[in-house]
Amino acid sequence: MGRVTIDRYEMENVEWQEQPRKETPPAARERRRLLITTDNFLPRWDGISRFLSEMIPRLKQDYDIVVVAPAYGEVAIDGVEVVQIPLARRRFGDYTPARLAYARVAREVRRADIVFNQALGPIGVCAILAAKRHRRPIANYIHSIEWELAPKALAPTTVIRGLILPFSKAFTRFFYNRCSTLIVPSENISELFSWQHVTAPKRIVHLGVDTTKFTIGDRKSAREALQLPADAFIIGYHGRIGHEKNILTLLRAFRRLRIKNKRLLIVGDGVQSIKSRLLKHNDVIVTGSTNHVVKWLHCVDVYVQPSFTETTSLTVLEAMSCGLPVVSSKVGFIPYYIIDGENGLFFNNTSPYDLSTKIMRLHDDPLLRDALGKAARKTIVDRFDWESTAKGIKQVLDDL
């Protein structure tokens, strides 16, 4: 796997080798030491990895940063120390977690002034327990709704999902109620956690988009560069291929479309059983995992987000920033920034027929596609940017 580095505005391959650490007494340090703990990180690209790739360059202006993350491959981040935890032997779908390594995580927690956690995987739960034990303030950004994500991602049947659900809720309450602060991406997600008796203090900080990178492109030249048919109607999706992402409903809707020359473009990677079903069809393209998403989005006519569970959905924000008309399931924070018929469309995420009907509507009305895409772009430019996200997170950490 390639080595990955993060700079403020770009990613590139470089050589990197972890350097020996030197302990500095807290009293001798002018800058605070921020420990970022995460169960998803580079070079495995997902929403959390992309979030951190935007936040770390901004946060390191004010903090000395150490990252504890799974050992998915060598990572170089200028001015940031990366501590990698070996991976477990067991794989869950497309995801291999880190091993439970409480002693190693706790050592980094003791060295830190503030802990900023990202998820409730093996690293995250160790970080929360260690922060509580060693009296370190810990903020946790809510990237997903665990009791929705875990049953749908891990369980193949409704019966098993029903068994997992109460455990997931209890697990979430136990750990999040031991955090100093939860940073949530929207008010409705904050209320949802409160309804589930997650009583830790909550602060709202929206996600952002780099609107100078995710911008309107030239569809013709983008398709030519990627060798995609110039005259095809392309429906796109970007993100993980997982059970909770409801990709098979998208595939069934795609098969119903009365369009002679069409393509379904899946930009991402994930569960092999779902990928196998996608790849049986000659008009379905699966790119695999990539951080170079923009060039693929520039090829798309209509973007679809079919997921069963989301918080904000960074992928939808990015598609809208590229001026794409979006057809989305009505989950998470999405109904608070997409207005049906004005800057996007909603569909019933259990109905392939409803989704195919919405896509056909956009196929048959190019003017509607153009109007929704322009309004979508304006929504993102007006309301979402990474600088505001970083400012909000810094304020929470400063208050801790």
**Domains of the chain and CATH, by start:** 4-12+31-208+385-399 (3.40.50.2000), 219-383 (3.40.50.2000)
| Higher per-residue confidence, 46 vs 176 | 176
Task: Calculate the CA 220 to chain-centre distance.
Answer: 29
Task: Calculate the CA 265 to chain-centre distance.
Answer: 19
Place of tokens 């109620």: 177
The closest alpha carbon to 158, from 240, 249, 90, 243, belongs to 243
Instruction: Report pLDDT for 218.
Output: 96
- Quick check: 374 pLDDT over 70? yes
**Across residues 193-203, what is the average pLDDT?**
96
344: left (phi over 0), alpha (psi -120 to 50) or beta: left
Q: For residue 43, is the peptide bond before it cis, meaning its omega torsion is within 30 degrees of 0? A: yes
Task: Calculate the CA 76 to chain-centre distance.
Answer: 21
Instruction: Report pLDDT for 1.
Output: 45
Give the separation between CA 72 and CA 88, rounded to whole angstroms. 11
**Across residues 375-383, what is the average pLDDT?**
97
What digits encode the pLDDT tens for the residues 251-289? 999 999 999 999 999 999 988 999 999 999 999 999 998
Q: How confident is the model at residue 250 (pLDDT cuts 50, 70, 90)?
A: very high
Lowest mean pLDDT among 6-20, 63-77, 87-101, 241-255: 6-20
Q: How confident is the model at residue 53 (pLDDT cuts 50, 70, 90)?
A: very high
**Across residues 12-39, what is the average pLDDT?**
62
Long-range CB contacts (within 8 A, 24+) of 345-354 = 345/372, 349/246, 349/249, 349/306, 349/307, 349/308, 350/249, 351/249, 352/249, 352/252, 352/253, 352/256, 353/253, 353/256
Close Cβ partners of 15 (under 8 Å, ≥ 6 residues apart): 3, 76
Q: How confident is the model at residue 145 (pLDDT cuts 50, 70, 90)?
A: confident
**What is the end-to-end Cα distance of the chain in Å, rounded?**
37
Give the separation between CA 284 and CA 278, rounded to whole angstroms. 6
Question: How many other C-beta atoms can be found within 10 angstroms of the C-beta atom of residue 186?
Answer: 20
204 forms beta bridges with: 184
The closest alpha carbon to 37, from 52, 20, 58, 19, belongs to 52
Q: What is the pTM of this model?
A: 0.87
- Helix ranges (H only) for the chain are 47-59, 102-111, 122-133, 146-154, 158-176, 187-195, 219-225, 247-256, 272-279, 294-297, 314-321, 352-364, 366-383, 386-399
Question: How many other C-beta atoms can be found within 10 angstroms of the C-beta atom of residue 248?
Answer: 15
182 forms beta bridges with: 140, 202
Task: Calculate the CA 224 to chain-centre distance.
Answer: 29
Instruction: Report pLDDT for 166.
Output: 84
- Quick check: 329 pLDDT over 60? yes
| Higher per-residue confidence, 14 vs 136 | 136
Average pLDDT, the chain: 90
